[in-house]
Amino acid sequence: MKFSKLSLVTVLAISTVSTTLIADSEVSISSNVSATNNYVWRGMTQSANKVAVQGGMDAEYMGLYLGTWVSNVDFGSPATAEIDGYFGYGGEVVGIEYDLGYIKYAYLNEGDANFEEAHFGLSKDFGVASIGATYSMGIDDAPDDIALEASVGLIEDYSLELGWGDYDTVGTRYSVALSKSFDKVDFSIGYHEFTHDTDNSSDEKNIVVSVSTGF
């Protein structure tokens, strides 16, 4: 699940009523689409180790943003798709970027699985490398999560992506990935490992390959 998320209908409505603002370059609308051999979120497969196709749409105005993001899922249950929504505000202070937002994770055909989070993130770009940290607070008894990320630029426009996280009462994870952009297409291959807090049989190790583009 990504921080790209409200309702597709809402986003389209905003894009319609904001035509004048868009013409003045005050509102930006963007979209993305991707495919992956395995949809892994916080170290855990969401697609039963199968292929997933995903996409989203975002609107941004002077730091305020909202959007939607969807993906097929497979939990061995009635849920067939994840349809997420989010909104928030981001900016920069003394060279440090911040992001404060809300996200709702919704599942088609399995409403009881829906949950919500509020998150706060900080990041710093040093040019050749960047680091970031995000704290996600679960709403209505959903677990909290903390994530740390780093990106290091390599030769030929490759980059090394490192991640670690702790999903409270669920488990911890880490990941390492190599990514590269080819014109408008982004390619990534990475290794993800998840260690369950109480059930070793739920531990996971996954190789994830993905390709995405934005427009």
Structure tokens of 25? 């370059």
CA distance 33 to 124: 26
Tens-digit pLDDT profile for residues 12-35: 344 444 444 444 568 999 999 999
Report which residue type is found at 11: V
The residues that bridge with 14 in the sheet, in sequence order, are: none
Q: Strand 96-107 relative to strand 115-125: parallel, antiparallel, unpaired?
A: antiparallel
- Domains of the chain by residue range: 8-214
Q: Can you give the pLDDT of all 215 residues of the chain as single tens digits?
A: 544 333 434 333 444 444 444 445 689 999 999 999 999 999 999 999 999 999 999 999 999 999 999 999 999 999 999 999 999 999 999 999 999 999 999 999 999 999 999 999 999 999 999 999 999 999 999 999 999 999 999 999 899 999 999 999 999 999 999 999 988 899 999 999 999 999 999 999 999 999 999 99
CA distance 143 to 140: 9
Query: Residue 25: its pLDDT value, please?
Result: 61
The closest of 86, 88, 91 to 11, measured between CA atoms, is 86
The CATH code of the domain at 8-214 is 2.40.160.40
CB 52 within 8 A of CB 75: no
Q: Answer yes or no: pTM beyond 0.75.
A: yes
